[in-house]
Structure 1
Amino acid sequence: MSLLKRIPDGALSAGYFAGFLTCIALLGAAYYFEYALYLEPCPLCIVQRIATLMVGIGCLWAFLGRNTQWPLRLGLLFTSASSVFGAWVANHHVTIQNLPADEVPVCGPGLEYMIETLPPSELITTILKGDGSCADVSWLFLGLTMPQWMLVVFLGFLVVSVVAVVRVWSR
């Protein structure tokens, strides 16, 4: 616990803002892959973008509330919860990508069509299940797919935000 107390408050505040900027960069990269490299996102990719946005909002919330206890705590808890959600979605995506070809789910209708035709509860359930397009691996970096990298990112945000929560709550 004494190691956590050695971290200066200014470093934590800079870390909250750095987390926000990291999320902005990740979303920018996602849109670059979609619009410049023409890699069409699957439903689980879209959900991971939403989770990334949520983590970024949590980091910004923590940064803006850094001088008051409860806004800071709530921002960090929101960041942690969003990181858990993002890690769950990314892990589910990785699982689908690693299924044998005969077990890959069937491709469903496009996301726009589902948004127009399905009620909200069914839309969310359908999107979170993923489909055959989620099994496609269209990009690798250092041997990892995009969902694998996002799993690493979300787990990193989770560890850092939990450490920050422990630090803030111990004051």
Structure 2
Amino acid sequence: MHPSRPLLLSVAAASFGLIGVALYLQHGLDMLPCPLCVIQRYLFLAIGIAALAGALLAKPRAGAGVALLAALGGLYTAGKHLYVLANPGLSCGIDPVETFLNKIPTATYLPFLFRADGLCEDATAPWFGLSIPQWSFLWFAVLALVLAWVLIRRRA
């Protein structure tokens, strides 16, 4: 077994688990996702799929590389979400991004997961002391660090 396999499987499990948390927040606590939230869901899903593929297909560096790119994209998106929240004059919600996201086939066929119906400003309610975008940024950072470790460490 490749030494990076357990790390990649852990990254995949964390990513899919975070999608589960997002679904709980949406359907259990009625927190509708905004366009930036939905983009972050796609990126967590991409991290999970790439990490899982890297672990199962014996291509850990390739899977970790693709997953790291998705994690960096997630850091950017979550950072933009935090920027929108820090600057009340900015907004996201009913805009061209939402319209585009809601017309993607995944949003059409899986609206419970990928439909953007909320406003970015609604994500400020603290959950265990941090807002949802802060948690997302933190998790993207942790996953990016683990994936970078998989890429830079020498094979044992």
* Pairwise TM-score range, normalised by the shorter structure: 0.7 to 0.9
For 1:116 and 1:29, locate their aligned partners in 2 and report how far apart those are by CA, in whole Å: 21
What is the aligned partner in structure 1 of residue 4 from structure 2? 12
Matched length: 144
- For 2:7 and 2:92, the matched residues in 1 are separated by 42
Q: Please, which of 87, 95, 99 is the counterpart of residue 99 of structure 1?
A: 87
Q: Find the counterpart in structure 1 of residue 141 from structure 2.
A: 155
CA distance in 1, matches of 2:81, 2:47: 18
The normalised TM-score by structure 1 is 0.73
Residues 1:82 and 2:70 aligned together: yes
Partners of 2:41 and 2:74 in 1: CA distance:
9
The structure whose RCO (Cα within 8 Å, separation 6+) is larger is 2
CA shift digits 1:107-130 (9 cap, x unpaired): 425977545779xxxxxxxxxxxx
Q: Deviations over 1:75-132 (max 9, x none)?
A: 01001100000110000001101113xx1236425977545779xxxxxxxxxxxxx9
| Residue in structure 2 matched with residue 48 of structure 1 by the alignment | 40
Contiguous gaps of at least 5 residues in structure 2: 105-117
Return the alpha-carbon distance in structure 1 between the equivalents of residues 30 and 36 of structure 2.
17
CA distance in 1, matches of 2:140, 2:50: 13
The letter of the residue matching 1:158 is A
Measured in 2, the distance between the counterparts of 1:137 and 1:116 equals: 19
Identity of aligned pairs, percent? 24
User: Which amino acid is the alignment partner of residue 98 of structure 1?
Assistant: A
Greater C-alpha radius of gyration: 1
In the alignment, structure 1 segments of 5+ residues that lack a partner are 1-8, 119-131
Displacement over 6 Å in runs of 4+: none
The TM-score, its normalising length taken from structure 2, stands at 0.79
Please give the alpha-carbon distance, in whole angstroms, between the structure 1 residues aligned to 2:95 and 2:18: 27
Match of 2:129 in 1: 143
8 Å Cα contact 1:16/1:59 also seen in 2: yes
Question: Alpha carbon RMSD of aligned pairs, Å?
Answer: 2.8
Q: Which residue of 1 aligns with 2:20?
A: 28
Evaluate the alpha carbon distance shift between residue 110 and residue 65 of structure 1 in structure 2; reply closer, same or farther with a 3 A threshold: same
